[in-house]
Chains A and B, each alone.
Chain A
Amino acid sequence: MNNPAPTQSGATPRRTIDIVNASLKRRYAQERRFRLVGVFAVALGLAFVVLLFTDIISKGYTAFQQTYIRLPVTLSQDIIDPTGTRDLNAISGANYNKLIRDALRQQFPEVTDRRELRQIYAMLSIGAPQLLREQVMADPGLIGTTQEIWVLADDEIDMLIKGNIDRHAAQSDRQVSDETIAWVSRLEQQGRIAKHFNTIFFTHGTSREPELAGIAGALMGSFYTLLLTLVLSFPIGVGAALYLEEFAPKNRWTDLIEVNVNNLAAVPSIVFGLLGLAVFIGFFGVQRSTPLVAALVMTIMTLPTIIIASRVALKSVPPSIREAALGIGASPLQTQFHHVLPLALPGMLTGAIIGMARALGETAPLLMIGMIAFIVDIPHGFNDSATVLPVQIYLWADSPERAFVERTSAAIIVLLAFLFLMNLAAVLLRRKFERRW
């Protein structure tokens, strides 16, 4: 083409090898480019994984600590228990807010202006009196003494301490006033501010106040939902797989069921929410917002996954096992239950765990069956109003407070940790029981 072959006498035909040699350089360059694109694609895929995890973790790890202010609180007998009877009702009804506020005010004797005082009180969490009350109720011996108590700080102070609010920005650009920053700095110098492990996050239900919001309610909701889902979907899934794989005659009906199961596995999850709303809530009258109705929807949703995995597990058991059992006189059902099922069970369990992991992370269908309600209490059964962890994440992600970003990411970290453990269990199970025939 570009460099014609040397001519000897007239026009000798060009040899193929010359054409090939001439194009080799270009073709090798193409090969390198193609390879590079491949490397780039893999690197991009890996980079997304890393980016996602670093983003979530860097946003969320701070939420596992929470800012507290150490105050010398005088637990005066007159306010908490004026009658001196140590009656728990009286102790519970006392004005703990005043105790804490007095203690905080002692730290700033020079402040008298009412507006400024209000700002000082706003440094404490609204839930602080409640926490103090629990502390006193647990140990009534504290009454009448003055204790150095770590009092929960407001979420804005928490954000300030964690460096999420820029202290040097103009006052109009941040939620915390200059005075508050000065007071916080003074408390810091006195060693009265510290971050402690955030137990509230793991022991409380949700709340409108970020510093009081926890995932315990959502975790329990997820637990009840998953438990019931597993109890319902595993036996049904295994039964269906056994029938379809081992007993069903191969005809149009079983073909239909098979196509059906495969397609159900790919139906968008939100459609299952519509089904749950129309059938379980609308037709059967199951109470909304409960783990019960969530588990019913999740069961319908995970069944195809479990059926498909169980059928694969049954298929991998060699026919010789069945023939041997049948040969020595076992009935077909005895063959299945005594010989095939035990060998296929690890594979089925792996499928079930993967199905449960998907159910744990599922959000969309639950939004429609009322799991989105704001529920502070921790559920204690299948019929209590509840929410689940992914829905809690969705709700918190919508909250405007800066501190909720941190909580949301922390809740995601907890969710991902559970998913990781479940998948790890599935992998280990598979590795331990995997058999090559």
Chain B
Amino acid sequence: MYAWILILLLLAVMAVAYQLGIRRAISSAGGFSRINTLHSLPAYYGLYAALWAGIPSLLLMGIWIGFQDQIVASLVTANLSSDLLDGQSAGHVNLILNDIKNLATGNIVSVNVTPEIQAAADQFARLERIANWSMWLAVLAVALGGMAYAWQKTEPRMRARNRVESIVLLIMVICSLIAILTTLGIVLSVLFESLRFFQMISPLEFFFGTEWSPQIAMRTDQVGASGAFGAIPLFTGTLMVSLIAMLVAVPIGLMSAIYLSEYASRHIRAIAKPVIEVLAGIPTVVYGFFAALTVAPVIRDLGAAIGLQVASESALAAGLVMGIMIIPFVSSLSDDVINAVPQSMRDGSYALGATQSETIRRVIIPAALPGIVGGILLAISRAIGETMIVVMAAGMAANLTANPLDSVTTVTVQIVTLLTGDQEFDSAKTLAAFALGLTLFLVTLTLNIIALSIVRKYREQYE
């Protein structure tokens, strides 16, 4: 709460610094009449002052907020008597600290309050108050100091524009590095946790085992206490659901793209194309709801009518609905590549007497094939990574089956189930989710890279 007020205050200081910087520049040049002796426009001197006032103080504030809690906590623990802490695990010390924090902020506490805890809480509150006030003072002092520095540096020969521009350029470089940092963050965090997982469970067992039951037993002497982490049933489940989805999406998407780009009148195309693309904008949780509450019961009833046993959470329902979701991906990507085939190829085919459908099947599709395949690969990676539909409509049970009417589970479903609810960062159960995530990331990344390079190569071919 207070941080927001401080940030607003800093913005105000920056605005003041901007105005003062302009005035200072003009007066240092000797008034408006001699403004042409300035190296840069006056506004750049203002910006220079504002940046000096804002950036160092904001950095300081960020660092301060990041470390304040740790420092205060360590000061409080240092004051706690040793009999409270001796022989306690790090987790227990954290619990005590949490209680102290809660007591200090007036929340509900889990233990009964001893005088010592109360004293620690008082100390905690006092330290926090001191830290907050000193942060305000320090940050504002740095802001004013920066302003004063800029004020003192301002003189007609200072190259204010160049300095401001190099700062802005630096900020833009940092912005674009965030994209790299994100990838690095994904890879490192997932890889790190996965390595810890593979220290407990061998990769062989994970990638080739056929039994998946990650529940950790309550007692260590229980049967199967360590859980079973064979991911094959998850991989086959994911493949089956994706396969069903592609069986729905590819024919419908491809044929509608062909029809809309080759046959349909401009009028029909202008209506049908955006309407079909609405399917791509609908949140996946809506599809999940649709699959679980509408499609699955219909399939179950249909199956019962013809005497088939259909699980209430069948792979078929999830796959069908996922296929519907993917139709617009296939259709718009195919549409792009079909339109990129040069008209001269069509004209040549017609001139030889081919009908329109023959032209499409024998000339356009072969010519567009690499692009279409790229699009389909992108759609497959989308299907593999899709989460909500399968979480809501496919099951939790890891069945190793080839029957689409059975319930199967997928990689994404297991990641979600393993990571929602209570979790500790060092159990094999939690870490297994990261190993699954790593597999998912690598597979989709490979598919994307292949698909994007195919599509790019194809575009170059006709450009």
The interface of chain A, by Cβ under 8 A from chain B, is: 20, 27-28, 30-31, 34-35, 37-42, 44-46, 48-49, 52, 55-56, 59, 235-237, 239-240, 242-244, 247-248, 256-257, 259-264, 266-275, 277-279, 282-285, 300, 303-304, 307, 331-333, 357, 360-364, 367-368, 372, 381, 390-391, 393-394, 397-398, 405, 408-409, 412, 415-416, 419, 423
* B425 in contact (CB, < 8 A): yes
**B357–A35 CB distance below 8 A:** yes
A236 touching B178 in the complex, CB below 8 Å, given contacts A333-B169, A361-B285, A364-B284: yes
CB distance from A42 to the nearest CB of B (A): 4
* B87 in contact (CB, < 8 A): no
A364 touching B176 in the complex, CB below 8 Å, given contacts A239-B171, A274-B190, A275-B182: no
**A368–B419 CB distance below 8 A:** yes
**B445–A28 CB distance below 8 A:** no
Give the number of A-B contacts (CB < 8 Å): 257
CA distance A272 to B441 in the complex (A): 10
A415 touching B283 in the complex, CB below 8 Å, given contacts A240-B176, A275-B190: yes
CA distance A231 to B42 in the complex (A): 29
**A412–B286 CB distance below 8 A:** yes
A27 touching B419 in the complex, CB below 8 Å, given contacts A267-B444, A278-B434: no
**A333–B176 CB distance below 8 A:** no
* B327 in contact (CB, < 8 A): yes
Q: Which residues of B contact A408 (CB under 8 A)?
A: 289
**A266–B189 CB distance below 8 A:** no
* B386 in contact (CB, < 8 A): yes
Q: Which residues of A contact B391 (CB under 8 A)?
A: 364, 367, 394
**B179–A274 CB distance below 8 A:** no
Q: Which residues of A contact B425 (CB under 8 A)?
A: 282
Residue of B nearest to A275 (CB): B186
Picked from A42, A333, A381, the residue with its CB within 8 Å of the CB of B256 is A42
CB distance from B351 to the nearest CB of A (A): 14
CB distance from A403 to the nearest CB of B (A): 14
**B189–A269 CB distance below 8 A:** no
**B290–A240 CB distance below 8 A:** no
CA distance A18 to B220 in the complex (A): 85
**B190–A271 CB distance below 8 A:** yes
**A41–B251 CB distance below 8 A:** yes
**B385–A268 CB distance below 8 A:** yes
> Can you add 16 more A-B contacts, CB < 8 Å, to A262-B452, A393-B286?
A31-B358, A45-B252, A45-B279, A45-B327, A49-B276, A56-B286, A56-B290, A239-B175, A268-B386, A271-B385, A274-B415, A368-B420, A393-B285, A393-B289, A397-B289, A397-B292
Q: Which residues of B contact A357 (CB under 8 A)?
A: 281
Contacting chain A: which of B120-128, B208-216, B259-267?
Answer: B259-267
**A412–B255 CB distance below 8 A:** no
CB distance from A172 to the nearest CB of B (A): 21
* B59 in contact (CB, < 8 A): no
Quick one: which of B1, B169, B255, B264 has the most chain A CB within 10 A? B255
Q: Which residues of A contact B416 (CB under 8 A)?
A: 270, 364, 367-368
Residue of A nearest to B384 (CB): A268
Q: Which residues of B contact A237 (CB under 8 A)?
A: 175
Residues of chain B from 223 to 272 with CB closer than 8 A to chain A in the complex: 251-256, 258-260, 263-264, 272
